[in-house]
Amino acid sequence: MATRTGAGKSAPKTPKATTAKKSTATKKATPAKAPKKAAAPKKSAAPKKSAAPKKTAAPKKSAAPKKSAAPKKSAAPKAATSRRGAKVDLAAAAQTASEMAKSGAVVNHIAFVVDRSGSMSGIRSKVIAAFNAQLAECRKNSESLAQQTFVSFYTFQTTVDPPRFFAKPIADVSSLTELRCTGTTALLDATGQAIVDLSSMPSAELDNVSFLVLVLTDGAENNSRKYKSTLKGMIEKVQATGRWTFAFLTPPGDEATLAGFGIPLGNIRAWETTQAGIKQLGQAMQQGLQNFYQARSKGQKAIVGVFTTDLSTVSTTEVKTTLTEATGSFVTLPVAADCDIRTLVEKSLGNGSFKKGNGYYELTKPELVQEYKEIAIVEKASGKIYVGDDARTLLGLPIGARIKVRAGDHAGFAVYVQSTSVNRRLVAGTTLLYRK
């Protein structure tokens, strides 16, 4: 800078005597001349030497805030940017899946629609773990049952994010590693967007293609705008094809609202954001997927009891060939009036005869059956009792998981569930199986 000042002074050839004055004048005049003299260089070099804008790192570093964590921390812009790119491939992914579907194989499209609103932040790590476990469940069932599975993954908060991936072969789907939580809950819009994307696929009308839309949220709908008024009709339209299944994991109290949109009650499972509730959430998702895949292996294209095992599909022949007859190991006790299990046993067999775990009560209504409880099946015509480790598998009950079971109106047999309580209430008109 000193060199430039000297050069500026040597440029006008003036006497030294006037230098002092000119220096004063220069300081006043220079601003007028300097900009003009500098103007030439600025016009010729400004674009290059516009070091002011370049060196005013402030503007460029102010650009940093643009690239700065502001958008990145807001996750929405970052997600939108990366997912817009993915959305461009939506048609290509759909075409690939459609080409594979033309083989005639059993094809399943499973769309996970996951809430990432602010209230999910406290449980996001557990939700990520549960989701990854379900990916493993999809891979296992796809391979063991020789079914093709394509997975789509949607997230939503105040708005619906473009899908992170769409119609991706299950073998190529990576585990989820992050779930940034913010905003409110556009639950209905997210469901509607999944329907729009999936139903627009070229293979959506093929008879061998079925869809499962699995929605997970910890809160009620509070911000949908786009599909709120039309979602019911959208769901009814695709369900009418007989190839679409919707399943919702929601907080308690939302069952009636979702049923109003055409979702069967057997496809709605309430859960709470407690440690026990989150464990049950994972078990319910696992069971839901198992039920879906098993139904597809039997030729079904949609199910209405994702989270409920309906025993009406089980035949007496299957019971007899799969389980061990154990009629002689039990005594059958009629329940004349509502009472607890200990009272009935000791009244019928004598004081001190009751042992916890030896009684099996008759299933009369949809009921949550814990993973550790044994199952007994009675053939109504003969009264023969069948038991065994395969009873749970036969009835569609997962090993190591609890599931709601609906006995249904089955003419061939009745189902009995082991009681591990001394106070279990028995229903009048039923019977109790008690192991001798």
Is 183 within 8 Å of 157 (Cβ atoms)?
yes
| 63 and 78 inside one domain | no
Question: Which burial class, exposed, middle or buried, applies to 383 when counting CB atoms under 10 A from its CB (0-12, 13-18, 19+)?
Answer: exposed
Q: To the nearest whole number, what is the mean pLDDT of the chain?
A: 80
Using the predicted structure, report yes or no on whether residue 299 has a pLDDT greater than 50. yes
Domain limit, last residue, from 288, 306, 324:
306
Question: Domain range holding 283?
Answer: 73-306
Using the predicted structure, report yes or no on whether residue 27 has a pLDDT greater than 50. no
Q: Which of 232, 230, 193, 233 is nearest to 213 (CA)?
A: 193
Q: Any idea which of 5-9, 220-224, 282-286, 367-371 has the lowest mean pLDDT? A: 5-9
| 294 and 370 inside one domain | no
Tally of structural domains, the chain: 3
**Residue 136 to residues 114, 161, 281, 419, Cα–Cα distance (Å):** 17, 24, 16, 32
Query: pTM of the prediction?
Result: 0.62
Is 328 within 8 Å of 386 (Cβ atoms)?
no
Of the pLDDT bands very low, low, confident and very high (cuts 50, 70, 90), residue 189 is: very high
Predicted local confidence at residue 409, as pLDDT: 54
SS3 281: helix
Tokens read off for 39: 């103007």
| 63 and 152 inside one domain | no
pLDDT (average), residues 133-148: 95
Sheet holding 403-406, edge to edge: 308-310, 403-406, 367-369
pLDDT in tens, 68-126: 443 343 333 333 333 433 443 788 888 888 888 888 899 999 999 999 999 999 999 99
**Residue 262 to residues 235, 242, 287, Cα–Cα distance (Å):** 7, 14, 22
Is 211 within 8 Å of 246 (Cβ atoms)?
no
Measure the CA–CA gap between 136 and 147, rounded to whole angstroms: 14
Q: Any idea which of 1-15, 321-335, 336-350 has the lowest mean pLDDT? A: 1-15
Q: What percent of the chain has pLDDT over 70?
A: 75
| 277 and 188 inside one domain | yes
| 45 and 80 inside one domain | no
| 55 and 171 inside one domain | no
pLDDT in tens, 35-44: 444 444 444 4
Cα angle at 172 between 90 and 107, to 5 degrees? 70
| 280 and 361 inside one domain | no
| 22 and 143 inside one domain | no
pLDDT in tens, 373-418: 898 999 988 999 999 888 877 776 655 666 667 665 566 888 899 9
